[in-house]
Amino acid sequence: MSEHTTDKRVREASRRRFLQAGAALAGGSAIAGVAGSTALAEQGNNLPPSVPEWMKTPGDPMGSQPYGAPSVHEKGVIKNISKTLPQYISASGRTPLQELDGIITPNGLFYERHHGGVPTIDPAEHRLMLHGMVDRPLVFTMEDIRRFPSQSRIHFLECSGNPVYTKPYGKTASDLVGLLSCAEWTGVPLKTVLDEAGVQAGAKWIVAEGADAAALTRSIPIEKCLDDAMLVYSQNGERLRPQQGYPLRLLLPGFEGNMNVKWLRRLKVVAEPAYSREETSKYTDPMPDGTSREFTFYMEAKSIITRPSGGQKLTTHGFHEITGIAWSGHGKIKSVEVSLDEGKSWQQAELQEPVLTRALTRFRLPWHWDGTPAVIQSRAIDETGYIQPTLAELVAVRGLNSFYHNNAIWPWRIDANGEVTNGQA
């Protein structure tokens, strides 16, 4: 019998036990409900068999919220905004990953990273200039861009400083890797626009510049620009929000977030990289021997358990679903393994479809918690065969001077009382 078949049978047996336990619980609840129905009704609360208050009067009219908003009971699900960063110089807001399901990040919770604040741009006056080593330098309006054939693709974006290598690491999944989100992006393949201009022989790089106060500038290899790069104007079906680069941003699937230049105003085709501030003094990786890795574009395979995770608490023994997300800048996630014993052994998790290239992938594993302390963690393997390393393995190679590209395995410690804390702290 293959290992895959064995794993599948174990998962199915776990599901059956969970359903049986659930049926027993449901039966117990029904009996308790009948026995206590009079008491519940006397209390006048919203539990069965009482008629809940919200059934007794009409609800809010449609016109009260012309742009839909979450339930007031979800008001705590908001971006995790740093209290230590000056919000116009080096601002960031993290996605509350531990509160989300699936793989798509709502636009209002998509992570933010700014270097000079969020500009207010009139799309009618915004232009994209394409020049340098091209046959026909061009200036595009937003209407021009939207006239090109479009496509929609689902990809993640992640800041390369997500998380740092040294303590304090953070308490929640959002604290650790909240500079990560995933969306459906709509726009134009960059190759289509480059073909319109005619790229000249000898062109090796494209320098992209944003229209923010920092004039953020990054150099992109021409190969990436001609592969899957996009000029995007919509996110999850609506126009980009100002925090995400409205009205136009560059999307480089799998590359570190800083390279996906927002408020895109200029593309210059060149033979050499610009060596801008964001690729010299920032976004380079100091190594233990005194050298630095430069142009470390790709985000390597990574995963994290989001439930149960730091800041949460298991309130009952029995079956729980361990779930989380995995991603890789090098392509699709091939598999995710979960350890329940601090990395001594690993089990294959189930991947939720669709499994897409350079997108978040949701994984799940049924688990029976007996109330004893445990350390749970996940590791991702991508389609190249790369296996997500431990923090110790990563530090052994890169040292502690590096700030970027920490894709280490992250453990969560579950105490006997059910409280979940950072297992690395």
pLDDT digits (tens, 9 = 90+) for 282-313: 999 999 999 999 999 999 999 999 999 999 99
pLDDT over 70 percentage in the chain: 88
Mean pLDDT for 198-202 is 98
Mean pLDDT for 349-356 is 98
Q: Which residues in 37-58 are b (16+ Cβ under 10 Å) and which e?
A: eeeeeeeeeeeeeeeeeeeeee
> Residue 40: is its pLDDT beyond 50?
no
Our separate counts of H helices and E strands in the chain read: 7, 24
> Residue 11: is its pLDDT beyond 90?
no
Q: How many domains does the chain have?
A: 2
Q: Indicate the SS3 state at residue 9.
A: helix
> Residue 241 carries which DSSP code?
P
* In a domain? residue 256: yes
State the CATH number of the domain containing residue 277.
3.90.420.10
> Residue 184: is its pLDDT beyond 90?
yes
Mean pLDDT for 347-374 is 98
3-state helix, strand, coil in the chain (%, to 5): 25, 30, 45
pLDDT band at 6 (very low <50, low <70, confident <90, very high): very low
pTM comes to 0.89
User: Torsion angle, CA of 191/196/201/204, rounded to 10 degrees?
Assistant: -40
* Mean of the per-residue pLDDT values of the chain: 90
* In a domain? residue 22: no
* In a domain? residue 29: no
Q: Indicate the SS3 state at residue 300.
A: coil
* In a domain? residue 30: no
Compare 298 and 10 and report the one with higher pLDDT.
Answer: 298
Domain boundary among 224, 252, 283: 283
Same domain, 166 and 314: no
Q: How large is the C-alpha radius of gyration of the chain?
A: 25
> Residue 24 carries which DSSP code?
H
pLDDT digits (tens, 9 = 90+) for 104-147: 999 999 999 999 999 999 999 999 999 999 999 999 999 999 99
Nearest to 313 by CA among 416, 189, 200, 387: 416
Same domain, 267 and 379: no
pLDDT band at 208 (very low <50, low <70, confident <90, very high): very high
Nearest to 358 by CA among 284, 405, 302: 302
pLDDT digits (tens, 9 = 90+) for 261-270: 999 999 999 9
What pLDDT score was predicted for residue 188?
Answer: 98
> Residue 234: is its pLDDT beyond 50?
yes
Q: Which domain holds residue 354?
A: 302-422
